[in-house]
Structure 1
Amino acid sequence: METPCSLSASYEGSFAYYTVKDRLPQILTKVIDTVHRNKNKFFEEYGEEGVEAEKKAISFFSKLRNEMQTNKPILPLNDNWQDIDIWNQYLDYQKTLLDNGEDPSWFRSSWLYVECYLYRRIHEGISLSPPISEFDVFRDVKNESFFQSQQAMITLCTHLQELKKTIASLSKEQHREEFYRLLQVSLWGNKCDLSISGGRDNSQKISILSSLESLKPFILVDNMESLWNTLTKNKDVSSEKALKTRVDIVLDNAGFELVTDFILADAILFFNLATEVHFHGKCIPWFVSDTTKHDFDWTIQQSLAANHKWMSKCGQTWKENLKKGSWVYHEHIFWTLPHEFWSMEKIAPDLYTELKKSDLIFF
């Protein structure tokens, strides 16, 4: 049986076509605007060198946008980041997939590959523009999205703290129902993905808790019961404490979604469903709003400093969880490679071995 070819932007009218024709150029235009808007900041920090770096980065991104819009060949990477050989080998592999000796290009190659490649090229453009090489071109929109969603976050933090106060009086059935609610909150946090919205404001303005019932029909596959069974079977029957159990969360977006993941992770420990939660983030800015180590730490710090007692209390708990090791943060280059997840065992055996230590992994 022949393997179907990958979806690409050569299929007019498809989401892939819309992505490469419109969505990715919009994101790149926003990147150019962001770098330009920070020109004075670069000057204050680095003097004329910072201004030259800004010009260099904008020139790089403008050229990249033109390559994309005119369907130019995909070029090898040219910086010194640790993954460069893997990316360039993958480009060689992509060349073997095309007929007639054609080069991989923006509209012809697999959409998944070219969208990942765009973000890797954005990283290249910044890293080749010292002294602004560490600048996160998406940080401004991520931070803005966090503050725009703050009211919805406060509602969640308040719900969690009230739940903790009443937990002793809840039946096992109510425990399970509350866990299901927080699982769904974490699921729908993904609605705030900034790459899907092309970088436009996509924050959570209203309480997601009040929307859960109306969103239920949109859950395609519901395995909440088997999740609950997996976690509760590791409890010590006499003490109701979790035996040594590890849950991993492969993080997606910063902002509201990250807070929903924190709320879920906090509840998993508090409900004695696990003894440790491990988080996995991205090494470089990725798909606009994906979580980096800076975003992870910044979100906990912002929660701690919030002018609301329950959000601040959550921030304090989360900071303590990290300090005592019941929360652990990891990053790995695999999450920002062009390879599909099924190739992890071969491409990143160390990460694969690490994840095998987990009792349950949330993607």
Structure 2
Amino acid sequence: METPCPLSAKYEGSFAYFTVKDRLPQILTKAIDTVHRNKNTFLEAHGEEGIEAEKKALSFFSKLRNEMQTNKPILPLIDGQPDTQIWNQYLDYQKTLLSDGEEPSWFRSPWLYVECYLYRRIQEGLLLSPPISEYDVFREAKYESFFQSQPAMLSLCGHLQELKGKMNGLSNNEVREEIHRLLQVSLWGNKCDLSISGGQDNSQKTSILSSLEDFRALILVDDMESVWKILSRNRDGHTESRTRVDIVLDNAGFELVTDFVLADAMLSLNLATEVHFHGKVMPWYVSDTTKHDFDWTIQKCLAVNNKWMSKCGQTWKENLKKGRWVYHEHLFWTLPHEYCTMAEVAPDLYTELQKSDLVFFKGDLNYRKLTGDRRWDFSVPFSQALRSFHPAPLCSIRTLKADVQVGLQAGVGERLAAAEADWMISGKYGVIQFSPVV
């Protein structure tokens, strides 16, 4: 029986009341250091007004760090943005979960909520500090990760161009094997997550393609055949058929390039006719993809002094121009809500996803929001853990970096837990996990 997910749903069995982990103060401290190091940049761009804005932002962040480390109450937002009221309503909802009359605080609130709230407060600190309100405190780290991953990107782009050069002679089975290969590349690209590493270097410096066979045993749920069955419908020779694929993005940098390569291959191999990408409206979880990151990555690929990577950048730019690729932004992706509330909180987004034939959800944060970040039994079916969230057939592509996993064969989770205490958070294991429309 389908479990409902109204906004009033309680968090029974959830990861509620986690203490603030070490990486949140670490991430905030890095943001403070970044703003301070760019003092002269703000001065050159805005004069003394830029210096005053830097001081104001640093004061805000220092106060925020104190609130976090001393378990102060969660405060309402005051920046007057389109999502401010939604966040404050969600805080009111959190108050209903506490029966002792206490206020929600940093140590007494669901871990997922506290994490999201931190990134939204970082954004608030900048919004309240004009004229540096548009500054992305994580951009330098994202840029550095991109450049450090270039060798792996060059290899991947070369592979894609070779594939496209011979695609007319490929059998259906060879196309299937290639899509399986690129799905795995997209999966292991998800290891490059700066929010997990605290903003430290976590780039991909070597080619993943040569290691896929070694990694295959680390895929705990392999639903690539279910993905193939949907994608292969378009290879029947009927040009009027339409297949839309959506990708809810995770990290910029190497992972984003793996997503671009997968999207390019699906179009080139006549497995999809359009690919829609969904990114964040603000800097989020250090390395999550924004519109700036999306456009910047394509431009940098285009400008690289390598014929394969430059060719990829040119194709991707043309795909956007021709409408074969479409980029979407929506505030819902940077709200604390789990996805089973989307139809209620963001019905326009839910309706948009219903137009898709297949939606890929990349990464750990998306998985946590898909499943509500709850302590499910490992063997609970993925479709059941989604509760009422079934806009279209969907597939989670994720390396495990948080304490939630469903859809495993009986006993697998328990055996892994007995052998490796950190198996759910190390990023060593991955899933390509499918759910049909229920």
Sort the TM-score into its range (normalised by shorter chain).
over 0.9
SS at match of 1:257: helix
Deviations 1:150-207 (A, max 9, x none): 1100000000001111222322211111110001101111100100111111000110
2:405 counterpart residue number: none
SS at match of 1:158: helix
1:271 counterpart residue number: 269
Cα shift at 1:295: 0.3
**Matched residue type, 1:326:** R
Asked if the contact 2:234/2:270 (under 8 Å) is kept, the reply is: no
Cα shift at 1:8: 3.6
2:324 counterpart residue number: 326
Runs of 4 or more off by more than 2 Å in structure 1? 1-6, 168-171, 239-242
Aligned CA distance change for structure 1 residues 305 and 215 (closer, same or farther; 3 Å)? same
2:33 counterpart residue number: 33
SS at match of 1:105: coil
How large is the RMSD of aligned CA atoms in angstroms?
1.4
| Superposition pairs of residues 178-189 of structure 1, within 5 angstroms | 178-189=178-189
Aligned CA distance change for structure 1 residues 95 and 5 (closer, same or farther; 3 Å)? farther
| Superposition pairs of residues 5-16 of structure 1, within 5 angstroms | 5-10=13-18
Asked if the contact 1:9/1:108 (under 8 Å) is kept, the reply is: yes
Deviations 1:56-111 (A, max 9, x none): 10111111011111111000001021100000000000001012101101111000
Structure 2: 5+ residue stretches without partners:
4-9, 362-438
Asked if the contact 2:74/2:103 (under 8 Å) is kept, the reply is: yes
1:154 counterpart residue number: 154
2:337 maps to which of 333, 339, 350: 339
Cα shift at 1:254: 0.4
SS at match of 1:100: coil
1:14 counterpart residue number: none
CA distance in 2, matches of 1:152, 1:347: 39
Asked if the contact 1:21/1:69 (under 8 Å) is kept, the reply is: no
**Matched residue type, 2:15:** L
Percentage identity across paired residues of the two chains = 74
2:246 maps to which of 245, 248, 272: 248
Cα shift at 1:7: 1.2
Asked if the contact 1:242/1:273 (under 8 Å) is kept, the reply is: no
Q: TM-score, normalised by structure 2?
A: 0.79
1:352 counterpart residue number: 350
Asked if the contact 1:243/1:274 (under 8 Å) is kept, the reply is: no
| Superposition pairs of residues 203-214 of structure 1, within 5 angstroms | 203-214=203-214
2:12 counterpart residue number: 4
Cα shift at 1:241: 4.7
Q: TM-score, normalised by structure 1?
A: 0.95
1:88 counterpart residue number: 88
CA distance in 1, matches of 2:207, 2:11: 44
SS at match of 1:202: coil
Structure 1: 5+ residue stretches without partners:
11-16
**Matched residue type, 1:214:** D
Asked if the contact 1:242/1:274 (under 8 Å) is kept, the reply is: no
CA distance in 1, matches of 2:319, 2:300: 16
